[in-house]
Amino acid sequence: MKNYEFWLVVGSQDLYGEEVLKTVAVRAAEMAEKLSKALPYPLVYKVTAMSNGQITRVIKEANYDDNCAGIITWCHTFSPSKMWINGLALLQKPWCHFATQYNKEIPNEEIDMDFMNLNQAAHGDREHGFLGARLRAPRKIIAGHWEKEDVQKRIGDWMKAAVGAAVSREMKVMRFGDNMREVAVTEGDKVEVQTKLGWQVNTWAVGDLVKEMNAVTEAEIDALMEVYKAGYDIATENVEAIRYQAREEIAMKKMLDREGCRAFSNTFQDLYGMEQLPGLASQHLMAQGYGYGGEGDWKVSAMTAIMKAMGENGNGASAFMEDYTYHLAEGQEYSLGAHMLEVCPSVAGTRPRIETHHLGIGMNEKDPARLVFEGREGDAIVVSLVDMGGRLRLICQDIHCVKPIMPMPNLPVARVMWQAKPSLTTGVECWITAGGAHHTVLSYDVTAGQMKDWANMLGIEFVHITKDTTVESLEKELFYNDIAWKLKRM
């Protein structure tokens, strides 16, 4: 990950004289310094902007600085917004308008006209806000005192979404093999995703991976086996199967790192020259922050990598997931999510076990080793990116994960169990109405609000299924979205 930072640009003008401007600059620097300690990324005070030229210059610099993941603007005093038009029209980075104020309270004795002219964010931020609205610029507006914890939390959440946008714009996905034959929802327009989201999605021959696997040394495998032993319980006699997965992981990691790819996909239909579908190998790569999608699903793979990057320490509890089967007992309705092998252990509620089992589907010659565990309890979201033809739609559903209500001792894969909002059946009706995939990213870490911000930053449609969503309201929303997005393209 880059050393991402955010820039604080404070609006003012030259009407107030030197003293006021000095005070604004000192306070802005103090706020940036204190906020940096509370926020997940540094906030760097750049300038008290007083002219069109200054604003345009700092925005051009922000656009071309790879470490700058977004700008935060605030008007300590009044800052006439026509000065901002040329700059903001060029802005290519996420923008947060922070409507705050240096002082928390109105000082009864001290307040006079000078105080009012110095502390007029209430005035200045309205002028600033009009321009954002007039330009139809995507922006996040956060209001509140800068020292308040919940305000800082909201800025921090937005920053992480902005880092997700930065990671998206540099995303490279390595595809081993094509999409699974005949499957529609995992398909998509690679030119469209590169244009809108920045993703470079390209293919590499499975034969090249096999060549790389053959070059892996026993010593490299020994070292990775120690890592597996430290993190997981070995619950199989078949050590050779685990060593084979280690070989696959090392080879894939080398290829990914060489090409600068943060995400990959493969398919059980194209394992030419491989003995096992990578299970443990893919799971352990995901645990290190790489994105993965099964059956050639490069969209979910890139989304997994992006949502991991948005999480704590650049690898939060976000996992490639698949809706598998339902428990429809009255009053006890749950979805069971899993995958053929590849569920990321970052969502584990129990210590993962390495097991080997027969896998009938695909080109497996030998039983693949995989991590088996239960997902943990907690509020989460599931996210799916679909290509609607002409535009991308990001669908997000609120869910609550539970400890699986039964042990399922013969299920040979990791599993997560959850209740969808608003309920299993209405939730499924909504999801299907919106066209969401069976593959998702399940996250305990990234919130629906952050995904909405991320979609806004990149200019794609966002659909949120919550505890309050009804099929009827969603149908209307999708109908109007369809018209609006068609008009946007004109």
Sites of contact with Mn ion (CB under 5 A): 294-295, 322
Rounded to a whole number of angstroms, the minimum distance from the CB of residue 368 to Mn ion is 15
CA 106, 110, 116, 120 dihedral sign is: negative
Q: Which is nearer to Mn ion, 75 or 341 (CB)?
A: 341
Residue nearest to Mn ion (CB): 294
Under DSSP, the state recorded for 289 is T
SS3 463: strand
If one counts every other C-beta atom within 10 angstroms of the C-beta of residue 27, the result is 18
If one counts every other C-beta atom within 10 angstroms of the C-beta of residue 355, the result is 22
DSSP 379-413: EEEEEEEEE-SSSEEEEEEEEEEE--SS--TT--S
Rounded to a whole number of angstroms, the minimum distance from the CB of residue 403 to Mn ion is 24
Backbone angles phi, psi at 95, to 5 degrees: -130, 130
Rounded to a whole number of angstroms, the minimum distance from the CB of residue 320 to Mn ion is 9
Rounded to a whole number of angstroms, the minimum distance from the CB of residue 438 to Mn ion is 7
How is residue 118 written in tokens? 């110095």
Q: Which helix (H) or strand (E) holds 233?
A: strand 233-234
Rounded to a whole number of angstroms, the minimum distance from the CB of residue 339 to Mn ion is 6
Under DSSP, the state recorded for 357 is -
Rounded to a whole number of angstroms, the minimum distance from the CB of residue 294 to Mn ion is 4
Q: Which is nearer to Mn ion, 303 or 474 (CB)?
A: 303
Q: What is the largest CA-CA distance in the chain?
A: 83
- How far apart are the C-alpha atoms of 408 and 393, rounded to whole Å? 35
Rounded to a whole number of angstroms, the minimum distance from the CB of residue 297 to Mn ion is 7
Contact yes or no for 250/224 (Cβ under 8 A) = yes
